[in-house]
Structure 1
Amino acid sequence: MTYEKHQFHSAPVLIEDLAPVLRLSLRVKPAHRDTLARVLGLDLPVRVGARSAAAGTEALCLGPDEWLLTAPEGTDLTTPARAVHADAPHSLVDISDREITLRLTGPAVLDLLSACCPRNVAAMPVGAAARTVFDSATVILWRDGIDSFRMDVWRSFAPHVRSLLAQVQGEIAAGL
């Protein structure tokens, strides 16, 4: 797979592609959550939208029994999870190639996101994340700072999302 570097920049918002990461979808019943958390080496938050991180791996709670795990490429989370499968049945699926991640930063990032996202992104606390939509594309927004977000978007929707981001970015830069 080739990695293309896309970067759109105007003063109010910088949009850039981030390097690929390991991305896993985890489904496990609440009764077995602690077992998986222990072998994976990080907390699996119970509140939807809550995140945790340890040793470069992040966990985002997407539902009562669903988490998105991200880690640097080459990280092995499947071996320890497989070792406890008999005692803690779960589904752990590699979805790394399904999505790309964009970093959106700058003083007008909330305006940029609000143009196509129905969620009140300004109300998202730093450190939270949420599954939402951007126009018609399902995305995951990670709020990393006051004016810093990551957006995970399915590869098939990336051209559409990039086009919208560039259009809104141009409108913001023009003062519209």
Structure 2
Amino acid sequence: MRRRALAAVGAVLATAGLAGCGGGEVTPAQDEYAGRAQTENPTAQPATTAGAEAPTASATPTGGPYADGEYTVSEAYGVVDDVVEEDSIDVTLSLQGGYITDVSVTGHALTGTSKNYMADFVEEIDDAVVGRSIEDAHVTALAGASKTSAAFNDAVDAIAAQAAEAY
């Protein structure tokens, strides 16, 4: 009988002890991005419902005309969420008739995490933008690289302005 009572008391104490493990705050990984609040992307498009038609690219760009050629722009990441970033990318786009025929992105990362995101971004950018109008070349967190994507979009806008002015 005593053995059963001790077993019951032990079970109650173990349950109470485990319940205490569920409380408290969760601590994120301790890298340069730890604990930063996520912000909503103001340029994100709302999700489409099944059966809805996807938008189609126009036959010609609407903001042009654009001069054909190769354009290169460098974009630094700047201060984001009060954290100083020193990453940058060099973006080179080749345009023909307002459409991207070739893209090259060279990353200059400060941290190992940034290098990994940039490498994944560079691997996927060609499939994401070649053949698209320069006006339809923005990407959103391509390969999970939200900051690199934002810098790329800024570079695309700068190149579009240069190509329109050069026309």
Shorter-chain TM band = under 0.3
Structure whose alpha-carbon radius of gyration is higher = 2
**What TM-score do you get using the length of structure 1 for normalisation?**
0.27
More helix by share: 2
Q: Bigger relative contact order, structure 1 or 2, given CA contacts below 8 A and separation 6+? A: 1
**What TM-score do you get using the length of structure 2 for normalisation?**
0.28
